[in-house]
Amino acid sequence: MKVVLCSFLFFTTLALAFFQNKLRGKKLFLSRLQNIARSRNMQDELVDDELSKPFFERIISPFLEWVSQAIARHLPTKNRDKLQQMLQLAGYPGNLHVHEFQALQLGVIILFMLGFWLLAYLRHQGAVGQLFQLLIGAIMGILFMRYYLTVRIRKRQETIEKELPAMLDLLSVSVEAGLGFDAALERVVSKAEGELSDELRRTFKDIQRGKSRRQALKDLAERTGVEDVHSFVGAIIQAEQLGVSIGKVVHTQAEHARQKRRQRVEEKAMKAPVKMLIPLVLFIFPTIFIVLLGPALINLMEFL
């Protein structure tokens, strides 16, 4: 009887273990299928997300990054630092950093070279003429990108100079109303828009991240490259060191910025007559001479 009971228990345990192993294998198989399906769904979502991005982010930007990494290995550090400074002053147009801008510059140079070579080829110039046109195209491509950056820097600095007096007025009113400098800066950047507002917003975030106010303001002056901003930053730093009221300093700087803007407008107005001489001499005076002296010259020619 004991032998039969032990045999029954043994076979029952063996059967349960067998079926449990079967169920465990089935569960593992189902979980693997679910993981595969989940990974495929994730891949499909990633593909959809990638395809939903603009063409520039999907194709152009990775290509520029790859080319820029190849270019960066062969360019000196000094040129990269200078280009970095120019891009910073220009506000990073198109969110292009140094390596990406270098890749774009290389593409523009190649386009100019191809264009000038095509003109030389269509004119049936020789090999020397075609090489000369390629050289001119490369020089024109380099000068074009430099000119583009220079124009962007000048326009951005002029915009910042125009926005500075109004921004300083808002900052002065906020400080005189009882707010601290950081709180007044936050209030100003939350209400205003523009190039200067973006730079001040970045300065405020740097202060929030733990950077000292002095260093954050110095970085602001370096990023803009505007003389009035340098003057404002120097006055604020000096006021902190000497314990002078920041409200009075900001109010004085606002008046000084308005006065300088007025002087710049007057200077441009004084230059206007001089600039008008060029179209007068080239276009207006010749036509007047033709109208006044033309008939007399015709009569003189007929008389002679």
Q: How does pLDDT run across 166-221, given as a tens digit for each residue?
A: 888 888 888 888 888 888 888 888 888 888 888 988 998 888 888 888 899 899 98
Give the pLDDT score at 98.
Answer: 80
Q: Taking the CA atoms of the chain, what radius of gyration do you get in angstroms? A: 36
Q: Are 86 and 149 in contact (CB under 8 A)?
A: yes
Q: Is residue 294 within a helix (H) or strand (E), and if so which, with residue range?
A: helix 285-303
Across the chain, mean pLDDT equals: 78
* 269 confidence band (pLDDT: 50, 70, 90): confident
* 43 confidence band (pLDDT: 50, 70, 90): low
Q: Are 235 and 253 in contact (CB under 8 A)?
A: yes
pLDDT in tens, 72-124: 566 666 777 888 888 888 888 877 778 778 878 888 888 998 998 888 888 88
Q: Tokens standing for 297?
A: 């010259």
* 148 confidence band (pLDDT: 50, 70, 90): very high
Q: CA–CA separation, 221 vs 227, rounded Å?
A: 8
Of residues 33 and 288, more confidently modeled = 288
Q: CA–CA separation, 142 vs 101, rounded Å?
A: 12
Is the domain 158-266 a CATH 1.10.1740 member? no
pLDDT in tens, 57-78: 666 666 666 666 666 566 666 7
Give the pLDDT score at 28.
Answer: 65
Give the pLDDT score at 34.
Answer: 67
Give the pLDDT score at 149.
Answer: 92
Q: Are 141 and 109 in contact (CB under 8 A)?
A: yes
Give the pLDDT score at 10.
Answer: 47
Of 31-35, 48-52, 58-62, 269-273, the least confident: 48-52
